[in-house]
Amino acid sequence: MKYLAFCFLLLCILPQLSAQKSVRIAFYNVENLFDLEDDPNTLDEDFTPTGKQQWTAERYQKKLEQLAKVLDAMGDPAFIGLAEVENAKVMEALAEEGLLRESKYDIAHFDSPDLRGIDVGLLYQKKAFKVLEQSYIRITFPPDEKGEAYTSRDILYVKGKLKDSGDIIHFFVNHWPSRRGGEQASEPRRLLVASKLKEKVDELFAADSLAQIVIMGDFNDEPNNKSVSEVLGAQPFGNPVAGRQLYNCFAAYQGKSLGSYNYRGNWNMLDQIIVSSALASQGHTPHASSPAIFAPEWVMYKGDRFGLSPNRTYGGPNYYGGFSDHLPVFIDLILD
């Protein structure tokens, strides 16, 4: 009788042990998600129906459907950082597309001074997160030899509470300056952005050494580049120490056979998610787990020259009708 009672108790407990609560955090550079209108304040005229890219209503709708298909296949993450979105309008359209509508996403977004008008943003499920504060870090670049000042995307900052656990999480969504003009020539811009982000992170650590921070984005640098590893100070994920330290969940992917972006057959790990010590520790609740690149066969294109690469929407002026030139990345935040 005691044995039967023990078995019954075990059957009751095991499902609770295996049903681990988690929320998924993803980042996706969605490659030029523009609306159809010409904004007179930005250089977006190529992405209009009469522009060079012939950005028609049909192509816009297909783009939304393609992106929604990817995000739904990822399990409709509770948090989705986005890069290369033109405005709040396109983010709202994406959140209402297909099965994503059932997840009831809200958005965090600010217009940035980028000349082309592309921004970063955050989609978050209202059932999972309550926003307490949102703002942005604006980066001012010194003028060049011609007296022209470079412009780029703001860093989006969102502070909020996880509704399941009550934990306060600080999110930063990034899209750092590109490598146009060469990696070394453009590096000072990324170093400057990294330093401004580090200042804000240090402020959070000064207020709370156990601050729970998630930094995600397209850094246009890899995990071991100076901007990420030295200025921001993000170390490889694993064996964290307590204190004011950042850990890169995707450092282990660098130099492997798959990254988030393919340039002429070479995989780069440009898209990353970085967490603070508190979230890197497996003994802490919540904690980051299972960093992955989402790369099913159906989002890929196999070319004769460079092999597999993300199936993109455009290649120069050529329309391919794919998903994006980047692959999304994600982690799971284990809550219990």
> Tens of pLDDT along 98-116?
999 999 999 999 999 999 9
Phi, psi of 109 (to 5 degrees): -165, 145
Q: Does position 71 have pLDDT exceeding 90, yes or no?
A: yes
How large is the average pLDDT for residues 281-305?
A: 92
Q: Is the peptide bond before 286 cis (omega within 30 degrees of 0)?
A: yes
Q: How far is CA 177 from CA 114, 186, 198, in A?
A: 10, 8, 16
Say if 144 falls within a structural domain. yes
Angle 326-328-332 from CA coordinates, rounded to 5°: 165
Say if 154 falls within a structural domain. yes
CA dist 221 and 269 (Å) reads: 8
Q: Does position 12 have pLDDT exceeding 60, yes or no?
A: no
Say if 82 falls within a structural domain. yes
Reported as a single tens digit per residue, the pLDDT across 241-287 is 667 899 999 999 998 889 999 998 999 999 999 999 999 988 788 99
Q: How far is CA 308 from CA 63, 215, 293, 301, in A?
A: 21, 28, 14, 6
CA dist 173 and 81 (Å) reads: 6
Q: What percent of the chain has pLDDT over 90?
A: 82
Q: Which long-range contacts (CB under 8 A, 24 or more apart) does 231-237 make?
A: 231/191, 231/194, 231/195, 231/198, 232/194, 232/197, 232/198, 232/201, 232/274, 233/198, 234/274, 237/275, 237/280, 237/288, 237/291
pLDDT band with cut points at 50, 70 and 90 for residue 19: low
Q: Which of 10-19, 148-157, 160-169, 212-221 has the lowest mean pLDDT?
A: 10-19
pLDDT for 20: 72
Domain housing 170: 20-334
| CB-CB contact of 249 with 331 (8 Å) | yes
pLDDT band with cut points at 50, 70 and 90 for residue 238: confident
193: Cβ contacts below 8 Å, ≥ 6 apart:
139, 152, 155, 174, 176, 177, 227
Say if 14 falls within a structural domain. no
Per 3-state DSSP, the chain is made up of helix, strand and coil in percentages (nearest 5) of 25, 30, 40
Angle 18-101-156 from CA coordinates, rounded to 5°: 85
Give the containing element (helix H, strand E) for 326: none
Q: How far is CA 302 from CA 36, 140, 297, in A?
A: 30, 40, 10
Say if 243 falls within a structural domain. yes
pLDDT for 142: 87
Nearest to 78 by CA among 21, 136, 18, 19: 21
CA dist 265 and 275 (Å) reads: 29
Say if 58 falls within a structural domain. yes
Q: Does position 14 have pLDDT exceeding 50, yes or no?
A: no
Q: How many domains does the chain have?
A: 1
**What are 109's strand-pairing partners?**
121
Say if 46 falls within a structural domain. yes
Amino acid letter, residue 90 = V
Say if 13 falls within a structural domain. no
pLDDT band with cut points at 50, 70 and 90 for residue 10: very low
pLDDT for 37: 96
147: left (phi over 0), alpha (psi -120 to 50) or beta: left
Phi, psi of 78 (to 5 degrees): -65, -30
pLDDT for 130: 98
Q: Assign residue 141 the CATH number of its domain.
A: 3.60.10.10
Reported as a single tens digit per residue, the pLDDT across 122-156 is 999 999 999 999 999 999 998 877 777 889 999 99
Question: 């070479």: which residue's tokens?
Answer: 266
pLDDT for 162: 97
CA dist 310 and 57 (Å) reads: 23
pLDDT band with cut points at 50, 70 and 90 for residue 18: very low
pLDDT for 196: 98
Round the average pLDDT of the chain to a whole number and report it. Answer: 92
pLDDT for 16: 38
